[in-house]
Amino acid sequence: MGEKKTVLIVEDEKSIVDIVRFNLEREGYATLTAYDGESGLASARENRPDLILLDVMLPKMIGFDVCRVLREEGDNVPVIILTAREEEADKVLGLEIGADDYITKPFSMRELMARVKANIRRTAMGHVESAAAPAAGGLTIDPENYQVSKHGKPIALTQREYELLVFLAGHPGKVYSRTDLMEQVWNYDYVGDDVRTVDVTVRRLREKIEDDPANPALILTRRGVGYYFAGQ
Ligand code: CA
């Protein structure tokens, strides 16, 4: 099994921290805690956790800013945003700034554990076919090292962006609906989420890998159907 995976909980409500920590540890994770945004950011930099649970409304620095700073620093740790309300704007903003997933409070521990498990970087990446070696358009995917390059220059992708790219590139020309992608890439029993997540992730990915994101040449849209990777 190897070493325990470490989850950093950044949340200012102590009762939530306590119950989340208890449940994570019972599931075999090591935990770190921070009660404000600044110390959460410091802990992420210092301890390099395997996943971060990140509240939005935090003292000193809000969760969105913590996530944004980490991404700007090239840290691609999986981040699950904890949103206080069923706020569409919060969810989309969270994904836009590079969070991998979000969960709305109040959440069940069962749901949270499913999200953590699904988002934590799997050492073996077993569920994604890693057959996508040299792709197209100057894009190279190195599944051994989770590394994607464009014309030889490394591109920083979040885990979801990476998995989506590898999945689509592994099946060039095959069109997948957003629901398909939710199941295949976001995998597991993804409870009650909207397919908007797929669109936002596709857009972010295009901004990183396409020469002209407004006229994509690699990840293409089949109108009313879904997305596919160019080729063959
Ligand atoms: Ca809070």
Instruction: Dump pLDDT digits (tens) for 39-97.
Output: 999 999 999 999 999 999 899 999 999 999 998 888 888 999 998 766 666 777 777 78
How far, in Å, is the centroid of ligand 1 from the Cα of 56? 6
How far, in Å, is the centroid of ligand 1 from the Cα of 65? 14
**Nearest to residue 159, comparing CAs of 133, 131, 127?**
127
How far, in Å, is the centroid of ligand 1 from the Cα of 36? 9
Stretch 132-141: mean pLDDT, rounded?
Answer: 67
Query: What secondary structure letter does DSSP report for 137?
Result: T
**Nearest to residue 50, comparing CAs of 20, 80, 91?**
80
Mean pLDDT of the chain: 84
How far, in Å, is the centroid of ligand 1 from the Cα of 19? 15
> What is the edge-to-edge ordering of all strands in the sheet holding 51-55?
30-34, 6-10, 51-55, 79-83, 101-104
Q: What is the pLDDT of residue 115?
A: 87
How far, in Å, is the centroid of ligand 1 from the Cα of 14? 10
| Residues in contact with 62: Cβ distance below 8 Å, sequence separation at least 6, in sequence order | 37, 56
Is the pLDDT at 106 greater than 90? The verdict is: no
Q: What is the pLDDT of residue 130?
A: 43
Q: What is the pLDDT of residue 125?
A: 46
Contact in structure between 20 and 33 (CB atoms under 8 Å): no
Tell if the pTM clears 0.85, that is, is over it: no
When pLDDT is cut at 50, 70 and 90, the band that residue 135 belongs to is: low
Contact in structure between 174 and 230 (CB atoms under 8 Å): no
Stretch 6-24: mean pLDDT, rounded?
Answer: 96
How far, in Å, is the centroid of ligand 1 from the Cα of 94? 15
Is the pLDDT at 144 greater than 70? The verdict is: yes
List CB-based neighbours of ion ligand 1 within 5 Å.
12, 55, 57
How far, in Å, is the centroid of ligand 1 from the Cα of 83? 9
Stretch 26-34: mean pLDDT, rounded?
Answer: 96
Helical ranges in 56-170 per DSSP H = 63-72, 88-96, 109-119, 159-169
In a 3-state reduction of DSSP, which class is residue 78? coil
How far, in Å, is the centroid of ligand 1 from the Cα of 35? 9
Q: What is the pLDDT of residue 131?
A: 43
Q: Return the residue matching tokens 């949270």.
A: 112
- Which residues are 139's β-sheet partners? 150
Q: What is the pLDDT of residue 8?
A: 98
How far, in Å, is the centroid of ligand 1 from the Cα of 5? 24
How far, in Å, is the centroid of ligand 1 from the Cα of 117? 23
Cis peptide before 106 (omega within 30 of 0): yes
How far, in Å, is the centroid of ligand 1 from the Cα of 37? 10
Query: In one letter, which amino acid is 172?
Result: P
What spatial distance separates the first Cα and last Cα of the chain, rounded to whole Å?
39
User: How many Å apart are CA 71 and CA 158, to the nearest integer?
Assistant: 8
When pLDDT is cut at 50, 70 and 90, the band that residue 152 belongs to is: confident
How far, in Å, is the centroid of ligand 1 from the Cα of 59? 8
How far, in Å, is the centroid of ligand 1 from the Cα of 55? 6
Q: Return the residue matching tokens 């989340």.
A: 20
